[in-house]
Each structure stands twice: as structure tokens, then as C-alpha cells.
Structure 1
């Protein structure tokens, strides 16, 4: 996939953008952060690496699981929470005649996302019930990595349903389940161990905002109640370690694991032996945590950064078999 141009650095004169702890955020009112994660070039670079981890490595170069059936002369797609725009650009490469739209809380919209066939609206609250498109307009509504920014998943899915073509429109939700998991006890379960402390604090802090980072395990039931038929409900393990050649695991299984592990480290760690270069150690973990921990838990920037340094060991130690999960749910609007 072609690399998209980088978004220019935002001016602090941009409406509702605030600088905190070296990162840029969307502000609501005088003090509150509507969206607790950064909206700066560093975050967009991280989102690009997460695109590769999820869609290239985990989903094996598949941009969607949904069966697409255009309800008209061209495919119409809406990306809710388009982030850096990488997924939309990749979709354009695969479907050059498609009409591609996006909405996001981020006010910063790169030039390549405001000209047909891709057109995105920044500074848009996707939790509103009016998405400003004709009802039944889209063939696919795509959502990704929204955990931590949604207060009511049922309402969000119900709104998405309104804008999907009856009978043929699909909603696809691709979400990270950030809970650190381990099946063989090689990852410490002690409450104050770095990874467990990070996750406990993420759950607590995000819950206080009313937008939990925890994956909604009842999402399938909510979709069915909202008028969808579930077509795909898939879980993929994002493992931090590579399976050795002598484990007896078939080559067809080892290769995806190796790709996932490598992109896991690009997204959430750094390669050992580069101590003299600018560290990107666990950019994702600290980026997710910084505003939540400082606003909701009273942590300092130094405390967050020291925690991320402590998280280096479980991420890069191949004797620690830690993994996160990506959850993919595809549902068809019934009527």
C-alpha cells in the first residue's frame, strides 16, 4: 500500500486544539478534553502503523470482511473516526470508482481528504444522531478503534443503521481489545506490575470520562437489537512474540504470527540496540494514557513516561507471551 503524505503540524490557533504535555488534543469547553487521545502528527504516524498491524498483518491484507453490494451505480462508504485517513486511501486504491466519506472529531483534515472521491468532515461529533447524509445512503459504514471515545455504543450503532441501505448495507466495527492477556502465566499478573497497572488505570480513568476503553462484550447483542444480522464475529490474537521454528506450528500459521509480532513491535515498542536514536518506545501505550492519567488520576507527565519505560520489558521479552486482541464484527442492516 502506498504511504500517504503526513499531516502538517496543527497551529494552536486551530479551534478547540490545546497543547498538553507535549501533545495536541481536542478541547471541549474551557478545560475538558472531548477526546482523550492526541490528534497530532505523532498520533497519526502511530495510527498508520496500527493500520498495518490490523489490516495488513492480522487481517492479512484485507481492508474489510463485509460483503459489499453497491445500492446504485457506485460503492458508497463512510469511515467513522477516519484518523490519519490511511484506511480511506487504501480503499481508494482497491475501489477507485467508490465514493468515500469520513467523519472524525479531529479538526485537522489533510488536503488529500477533502477532494473527491475522498471527502472528510473534521470536527464532527460522530455520536450525534445526525450525520448530515441522506438516510439509507451508504453501502458500508466502517468504524475502527473507537473504544475510549464512545459513550453509548447502542446509540452509535442505531445511528449507523439509519444511514445504511436497507437490506444490503453493512456495518463493520474493527476494535482493539487492549486488555493484556497471557495464557501461560509468563506475563506478571501482579496488580502493580507495569502492564497490569497500565490496564487497571486505563479502565478506571476512561470509565470516569463516561467513554470506557474496554471492548463492549455485548456488542453483538446490541447490534441485533438495533436491527442488524451478524455476518462476521471474529477475534484475532495480536501476539508480541514470534513462534520459534521448532515449536511444531505449521509454516502457514507461523508466517502470520511473525508479521503480527513485527508490526506489534513497530506500533507498540522499539527495536533493542537503538538507544542513541530518538526513542519511540511504546508510543501507543503512552499516547493512550497521557491525558487520561493526568486528567482523571492526577498523574504527572513524568509518572506516565516512567511507566511506559517499565513496560518495555514485557513487550520485548520473547519469553513473555503477551497478546492483545482485535475484534471484527460485520452486520447487515435487515430492513
Structure 2
């Protein structure tokens, strides 16, 4: 029996969006820490062990047992009744590692962050650490910093905590509070959380609460997978990719954790208390055969390594749980939709890009 599902929207966005953001907390009222930099030299400041900054776990932020299960040949996990909609297995970890290289090595020119830090950070918080690669790289860049990451799943095998690197697994970062002391963090980093956060206003408020007033910064990096055209119209031979993304948006909305990038992100950050919000946008071509610019070729190669290689399970991995659970599609329908989307991105000279 074939599932019936509504057609995705055909309207193509007219205005580009910007996705790498960093911001600074606004000044605090009298009687609380000021916005001005500390006069003390970093070496003379007290260094509280990172364990002392972690809150005693309460019902709202407590670690909870993670349940793994298999579905359609992929491994997923859930905590209580909250399922992570993307796979959590070696295939997905490899895809995330390629995306890490695409973002930080190519798109950001070997920068781990675009935020200009006033001093070397003493405490760094990574929300949704994934494979843990960003934290490992930051440990090398800032050997004196205490780096904590929170996520629901443990990092891959071989990625371990040590004296200054602390992976806190089985922590739901959508809970009302994070298990981190207020006003204790110099940099909050978060990347690729679209589809994981039900309420961005609350999420940014928690980040604001954790940062040092006046000097702490947040950096949020996202990929908007919406296919966009360099030409005036969207090419007919790419319709299957456009349809796939439309269904992804529908399904994630029904799941309560939208994949759509919020156009009002700057307003949400300001509403949480941040000031000096800035944006950096990078276009990622889907195909690189007709690209003359070296970086664009590398970006296109990264996209193809992430999504477009022969035998890729990336489209089905991103889609299977969402489409079967929230659009009532059969696994066969999902596989066919994803196969057609894969065929689109494997075309040699497609004038399409996504935004980072």
C-alpha cells in the first residue's frame, strides 16, 4: 500500500540567508558583573576545576539512560520517548566528520571559530558535540582552556574525556537548564542543531545565562540544506531534490523540531539579551566541475563527499525516520524519493548551492 502525502511547497526563497553567527551578552544592570574586561591578568585569576562548575543534576537536566535500537538497517537512539531523528552509527559519524572538515577547514579557512575572543578562553562549552572533533581541535588550539561538551549520545569510540576535556553524555540540552554554572563560560559553541531544538528562544536564553557577562560569546553554525539556484529560476531537472527538501521541512515541523533555518535568528538572539550580533554566510556549490574558484571547488567536493557519492546513504539516513514516522511513508517510498534526490546532486554541472 502506498502512503499518501502532501506535495512540498514550490515557492523558492528570494533572499539569501546567513548562518554562522556570533554574539556577545548585553551589559548587565548595576549590582551584577559589568561588561568591561577584567583588569586581572589571566594567570592571576582563580581557576576553578571544571567539575566544580557543573550543576548538581536536577530532574530538569539529569542524565538519563540512552536506548539504542535498529530500524531499516541503521542505528538510532532515544531517551525516554524523545527520539533523535538521525542515525547514530559509524556511517553517520563518517558523514559528520566530512561536514566538520567542510565547515572548519574549507568554508572557514581552517578557523575553528569566527568570533574574535578578547582573551584566550578559560572555559568553553560545546552544545551537541556530535563526534567530538571540534572539542578535540579546540583543545589543541587552547591547551589551557577547560572544554565541556553536552549531548545525549556518547562520543564515538576512542574519543575520551581527560583533565581538560569533558564529554557529558546522556544530557538533554533541550531541558529547561543546562548542567553548567551561570556566568562561567567564555565561549558557547553550537553547530548543526537544526532538527534538534524545539524552541530557539529558550535555547539562546540558556546560552546567554551560561556566559560571562560582557565578554562571553556565542557562536552558532548551521547548514541550511535548502537547494538554491545561481540562475534566475530553479532548474527543472532538480525538482526531485526540491521535493525531498520540502518533505523534510514538513516532517520535521510535525516532529516539533524544525529543520528550517529561522529568518528571525538575529531577533531571537537579541531577545535573549545578546548584542553585537554578526553573520557570515558561505555558499556551498552542489557540483564543482564548472567552478573556477579553488575554494568553491573544495566546497563542492565536500558536499559531494557528504551527500552525493555513489552508494551514499546520506539522504536515506536523514529522511527515513522522519518520513516513515511523521509522513506515514513506507520505507520503499522513502528509498525511491532519496534515490531520485541523489541522482540530482550527481549531475555534473548543476547550478545549485546551499548556504552555510
Q: TM-score normalised by the shorter chain: which range applies? A: 0.7 to 0.9
| Aligned equivalent of 1:128 | 175
| Aligned equivalent of 1:179 | 226
| Aligned equivalent of 1:67 | 116
Q: How far is the alpha carbon of 1:167 from its aligned partner?
A: 0.3
1:297 is the counterpart of 2:345: no
| Aligned equivalent of 2:94 | 45
Which of residues 217, 221, 237 is equivalent to 1:170?
217
| Aligned-partner Cα distance in 2 for 1:27–1:172 | 27
Which of residues 227, 251, 262 is equivalent to 2:301?
262
State the structure with bigger RCO (CA 8 A, min sep 6), 1 or 2: 2
Structure 2 length-normalised TM: 0.77
| Aligned-partner Cα distance in 1 for 2:103–2:156 | 23
Contact persistence 2:289–2:348 (CA under 8 A) = no
Contact persistence 1:70–1:76 (CA under 8 A) = no
| Aligned equivalent of 2:32 | none
Q: Over residues 206-252 of structure 1, what are the superposed CA-to-partner deviations in whole Å (9 max), with x where a residue is unaligned?
A: 0001110000110100111111013421111111122647xxx6xxx
Worse-matched range after superposition: 46-55 or 301-310 = 301-310
Worse-matched range after superposition: 87-96 or 133-142 = 87-96
Contact persistence 2:307–2:342 (CA under 8 A) = no
1:99 is the counterpart of 2:158: no
Q: Over residues 3-60 of structure 1, what are the superposed CA-to-partner deviations in whole Å (9 max), with x where a residue is unaligned?
A: xxxxxxxxxxx7421211111222244xx54321112221111100000111111111
Contact persistence 1:186–1:320 (CA under 8 A) = no
1:26 is the counterpart of 2:73: no
Report 1:232-271 matches (<5 A).
232-242=278-288, 244=290, 254-270=293-309
Contact persistence 1:25–1:38 (CA under 8 A) = yes
| Aligned-partner Cα distance in 2 for 1:195–1:113 | 38
Q: How far is the alpha carbon of 1:296 from its aligned partner?
A: 0.7
Which of residues 199, 202, 216 is equivalent to 2:245?
199
Report 1:79-98 matches (<5 A).
79-98=126-145
| Aligned equivalent of 2:34 | none
Structure 1 portions without partners, runs of 5+: 1-13, 272-278, 327-335
Q: How far is the alpha carbon of 1:116 from its aligned partner?
A: 2.3
| Aligned-partner Cα distance in 1 for 2:205–2:237 | 38
Structure 2 portions without partners, runs of 5+: 1-64
- CA RMSD in angstroms comes to 2.0
Structure 1 length-normalised TM: 0.81
Q: How far is the alpha carbon of 1:178 from its aligned partner?
A: 1.2
Contact persistence 2:266–2:277 (CA under 8 A) = no
| Aligned-partner Cα distance in 2 for 1:229–1:188 | 42
Q: Which runs of 4+ in 1 moved over 3 A?
A: 107-111
